[in-house]
Amino acid sequence: MKLRHLRQLALALALASPLALDAAKGQLIEKSVEVPRDTRVALDITYGKAALTWVESNNDPKDTDVEEAKRKDPGDHTFVILRFHYRNDDYVKHKVKLRAYLLDENDTILGEAGRSGGLDPGKADDTISFPMKVKTLDWPRATKLKVTAAFQD
């Protein structure tokens, strides 16, 4: 009888999504914001005394890059760097798994990326960054950035 219960538990754990497991360890927060093209975009995701304050993009395709991709290589890709600024007024380090999804007006995913990192204690303004591979021709079609943050202590 116990073996059957263990098998059921093992199957349930195998089928559980990684985000669901992360949520069980801490807190999972989702937020959609405008695409950070020319300016920083406020994020305001808070976990205890820590917060992801805003996000910016670097190396995003310029209009000339998009036009060149149309003419020469419609399959061209760009690595856009997403830089998340945070503050941590706490005395302990918090771990966070960040995931970002670049979406168009129909919520079609144009790009996605993420990484794990630590929010160092006592930091007033620090960053966590990662690259997102985006088709150059898709960048102008992007209308929002959906961010998920799974926090852990």
Q: What angle do CA 104, 108, 114 make, to 5 degrees?
A: 90
Does some domain include residue 8?
no
- Judge whether 113 and 130 are in contact, CB under 8 Å: yes
CATH of the domain at 52: 2.60.40
Q: How many structural domains is the chain composed of?
A: 1
Based on C-alpha coordinates, what's the Rg of the chain?
A: 19
List, in order, residues 6 or more apart from 114 with CB less than 8 Å away. 97, 98, 99, 100, 130, 148
Residue with tokens 């794990």: 116
Residue 1: what pLDDT?
A: 47
* Mean local confidence (pLDDT), 48-65: 95
pLDDT, tens only, 94-128: 999 999 999 999 999 999 999 999 999 999 999 99
Does some domain include residue 113?
yes
How far apart are alpha carbons 123 and 137 in whole angstroms? Answer: 37
Residue-range definition of the domain harbouring residue 93: 17-152
